[in-house]
């Protein structure tokens, strides 16, 4: 007889089969009349039991039923034949803001590519996921300074990624990635199997402006996965007890379902409502009205962080690789020294 047992949310996260379409697979809550359950990507069919013995209830992408779900709630879900939305939790979370800041020059990754093994992949939307890679020295953290990124390489494709984990995590690091249809590297990250290797390195050019930031106010303009350096900076600012920096974030996403790290951002805003404000722009572009309404004005003691797609850079401040500030931010009076392109 098939043995049922309650499993931790990790069961949902570890996906070892290749995803040919590089999109999240359907996930199910497999629930028995007793309240025992497990999570998986296949509809459960027990040949030796009645067909309704174990129910396979669809789960929303990026959501799980946690291991500590109340027993009575599980029984109700079994009887109702559907998942109770109030019992759902995010499959991934950044946790509380954590300031684990180190100076540049201490990163485990050097200027030579080093293989890191994939430990886990967690889909958070239909086409975006968090990957966790093991470090060469499992006894130490990544030791990446804030703000800085690392480089991933696959064949001739090399791309920068800003870890969303902090140096409080020992032996591994996490990246938030969007699987682009024509992105060879993101497709590789979406389809590689657990325990396969991806080469990473870190170079001096990857070190950006460093915490503590030299301003009383920080404005953030982010689009899509451009939220990752903002999360890194927010960890340092919101996680430092003596930091009083006022932070405002305008975050552009195609749809409400595609807002990355939405639960994390809202939790951090609620816990730091006096100095951290989040505004969302859906389906459009971050424009002049958004900047004027939510960003600190250029005459104040402030800096602006910008990260997103190329079109967003071009419109707001000029190409990412161009040190000069053009576009909307120049029009509104922001100086080159106030704008950081990640």
pTM: 0.90
Q: Would you place residue 25 in the very low, low, confident or very high pLDDT band (cuts 50, 70, 90)? A: confident
What CATH number does domain 114-206 carry, 2.160.10.10, 1.10.357.10, 2.40.10.480, 2.40.30.10?
2.40.30.10
What is residue 51's predicted lDDT score, i.e. its pLDDT? 55
201 is in an annotated binding site: no
Mean pLDDT of 27-41: 92
186 is in an annotated binding site: yes
Q: Does domain 217-341 correspond to CATH entry 2.60.120.260? A: no
What is residue 235's predicted lDDT score, i.e. its pLDDT? 98
List pLDDT tens digits, range 145-176: 999 999 999 888 999 999 999 999 999 999 99
161 is in an annotated binding site: yes
What is residue 155's predicted lDDT score, i.e. its pLDDT? 87
Ranges of each domain in the chain: 10-89, 114-206, 217-341
What is residue 53's predicted lDDT score, i.e. its pLDDT? 83
217 is in an annotated binding site: no
176 is in an annotated binding site: yes
CA distance 235 to 258: 22
């Amino acid at each position: 007889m098939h043995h049922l047992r309650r499993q931790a949310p990790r069961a949902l996260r570890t996906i070892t089969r290749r995803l040919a379409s590089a999109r999240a697979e359907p996930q199910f809550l497999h629930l028995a009349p007793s309240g025992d359950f497990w999570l998986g990507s296949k509809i459960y069919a027990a040949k030796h039991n009645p067909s309704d013995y174990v129910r396979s209830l669809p789960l929303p992408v990026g959501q799980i039923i946690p291991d500590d779900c109340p027993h009575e709630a599980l029984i109700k879900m079994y009887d109702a034949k559907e998942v109770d939305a109030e019992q759902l939790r995010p499959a991934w979370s950044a946790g509380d803001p954590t300031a684990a800041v180190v100076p540049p020059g201490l990163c485990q990754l050097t200027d030579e590519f080093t293989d890191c093994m994939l430990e886990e992949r967690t889909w958070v939307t239909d086409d975006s996921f968090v990957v966790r890679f093991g470090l060469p020295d499992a006894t130490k953290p990544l030791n990446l300074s804030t703000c800085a990124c690392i480089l991933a390489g696959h064949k001739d494709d090399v791309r920068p990624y800003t870890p969303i984990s902090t140096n409080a995590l020992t032996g591994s690091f996490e990246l938030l990635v969007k699987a682009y249809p024509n992105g060879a590297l993101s497709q590789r990250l979406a389809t590689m199997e657990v325990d396969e290797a991806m080469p990473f390195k870190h170079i001096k050019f990857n070190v950006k402006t460093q915490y503590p930031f030299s301003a009383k106010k920080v404005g953030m303009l982010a689009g899509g996965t451009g939220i990752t350096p903002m999360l890194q900076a927010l960890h340092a600012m919101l996680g430092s007890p003596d930091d009083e920096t006022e932070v405002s974030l305008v975050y552009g996403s195609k749809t409400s379902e595609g807002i990355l790290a939405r639960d994390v951002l809202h939790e951090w805003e609620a816990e730091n409502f006096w100095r951290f404000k989040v505004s969302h722009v859906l389906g459009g572009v971050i424009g002049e009205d958004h900047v004027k309404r939510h960003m600190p004005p250029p005459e104040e003691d402030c800096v602006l962080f910008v990260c997103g797609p190329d079109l967003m850079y071009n419109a707001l401040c000029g190409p990412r690789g161009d040190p000069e500030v053009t576009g909307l931010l120049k029009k509104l009076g922001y100086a080159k020294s106030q704008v950081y392109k990640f």
